[in-house]
């Protein structure tokens, strides 16, 4: 059983661990169940849009603990999704269904673990998502995955999803969305499949607010997102902001937070520190002298981020210089944990549980909250035009 300082209740029906206060609020009229919830990036977006996440399922203990630490009114179930009876969980809350079910099954879940083939996926996480749809009976569904999801297994995965949702009574739309188009300081493409019960208000994808087209706000750049954070060196940290908020994004991320959290850099050996000192602005491994170049590496490793553009996609390895472009634009280090969280769109008061590697993994695996909010907002509009929320 997952042990936490906060209230932990044993789910006797399923044997799973429920973290955090087991209560729900009515601040948000609409309700959701979130699967594969991670550290809560999509949950933030749903809540901001006006949808209360009543149940969130996450199997990784640190991820679930982070959810519980920040989403106090969500029943966080830290267990294998195969073991969860979602009808029983909703019944405990006095609910028969929810307005929204969201989730993004891990890619390898569609086939046998670790291989991309078309073996029968009936026991996979992909089908657990569909089982949860059947058990929670939501009005609307969100399925999110990697940008190439529609092409995976020759289109078999996507076609199966649409067919199975159709058999459950849902129409669907699919589109690849870029988080930067909605105000995130990061280029991150995600495949989003929206579903709605036949007879309800159909969904349209949110219109971009940022971009290079006329009438849109310019993309938010990397330094616009992190420019108020202080300079630190390898192995150093700081709990004080360098400047007051310099723009609306920084104001939103900081909120009422006074103490800077998680702004820490990994330590490096002498050779790595030399590499990081001499990489020029915008440079990469190709700018290093031969004596410092690794024998084999991709061209975008040991590469500085570009200050006046959105960040490339944040990954779990954003604190590792040898990973894809993640070295600070000016400082001799990779991104700090807080900088990674800023670029994903986690507010500065969001508490991550676990060691540095676990925290970076939680951040790198998350759906950017700003993208989640944009998607959730169109669902809220449809719900308001329809019959209202659950009760």
Q: At what angle do helices 337-344 and 356-364 cross, to 10 degrees?
A: 20
Q: Are the C-beta atoms of residues 274 and 293 closer than 8 Å to each other? A: no
Q: Are the C-beta atoms of residues 188 and 313 closer than 8 Å to each other? A: yes
Cα 64-65-70 angle, rounded to 5 deg:
100
Q: What is the dihedral of CA 92, 96, 98, 102, to 10 degrees?
A: 70
Strand partners, 77: 18, 57
Q: Rounded distance, CA 8 to CA 258, Å?
A: 30
Neighbour tally for 303: CB within 10 Å:
23
Query: Which single residue is written with the structure tokens 């009438």?
Result: 215
Helices (H), 82-171: 86-92, 125-136, 156-167
What residues are annotated to the active site?
Answer: 107
Q: Are the C-beta atoms of residues 310 and 220 closer than 8 Å to each other? A: yes
Cα 162-163-166 angle, rounded to 5 deg:
85
Task: Retrieve residue 220's tokens.
Answer: 């938010």
Q: Are strands 75-78 and 16-19 parallel, antiparallel or unpaired?
A: antiparallel
């Amino acid at each position: 059983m997952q042990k936490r300082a906060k209230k932990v209740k044993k789910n006797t029906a399923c044997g799973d661990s429920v973290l955090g206060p087991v209560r729900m609020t009515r601040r948000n009229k609409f309700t959701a169940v979130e699967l594969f919830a991670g550290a809560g990036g999509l949950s933030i977006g749903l809540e901001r849009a006006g949808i209360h996440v009543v149940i969130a399922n996450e199997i990784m203990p640190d991820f679930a603990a982070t959810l519980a630490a920040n989403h106090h009114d969500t029943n966080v179930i830290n267990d294998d999704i195969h073991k969860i009876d979602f009808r029983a969980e909703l019944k405990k809350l006095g609910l028969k269904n929810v307005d929204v079910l969201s989730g993004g099954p891990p890619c390898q879940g569609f086939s046998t673990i670790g291989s991309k083939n078309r073996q029968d996926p009936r026991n996979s996480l992909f089908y657990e998502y569909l089982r949860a749809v059947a058990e929670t009976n939501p009005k609307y569904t969100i399925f999110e995955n990697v940008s190439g999801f529609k092409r995976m297994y020759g289109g078999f995965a996507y076609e199966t999803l649409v067919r199975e949702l159709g058999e459950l009574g849902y129409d669907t739309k699919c589109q690849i969305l870029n988080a930067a188009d909605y105000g995130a300081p990061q280029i991150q493409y995600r495949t989003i499949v929206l579903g709605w019960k036949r007879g309800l208000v159909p969904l349209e994808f949110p219109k971009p607010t940022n971009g290079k087209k006329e009438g849109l706000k310019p993309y938010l750049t990397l330094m616009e997102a992190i420019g108020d954070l202080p300079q630190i060196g390898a192995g150093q940290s700081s709990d004080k902001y360098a400047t007051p908020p310099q723009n609306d994004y920084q104001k939103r991320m900081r909120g009422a937070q006074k103490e800077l959290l998680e702004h820490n850099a990994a330590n490096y050996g002498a050779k790595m520190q030399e590499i990081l000192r001499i990489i020029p602005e915008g440079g990469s491994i190709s700018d290093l002298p031969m004596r410092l170049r690794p024998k084999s590496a991709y061209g975008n490793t040991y590469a500085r981020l570009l200050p006046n553009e959105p960040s490339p996609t944040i990954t779990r390895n954003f604190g590792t210089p040898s990973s894809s472009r993640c070295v600070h634009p000016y400082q001799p280090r990779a991104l700090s944990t807080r900088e990674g969280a800023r670029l994903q769109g986690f507010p500065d008061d969001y508490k991550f549980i676990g060691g540095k590697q676990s925290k970076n993994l939680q951040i790198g695996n998350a759906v950017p909250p700003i993208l989640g909010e944009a998607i959730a907002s169109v669902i809220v509009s449809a719900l308001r035009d329809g019959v209202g929320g659950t009760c």
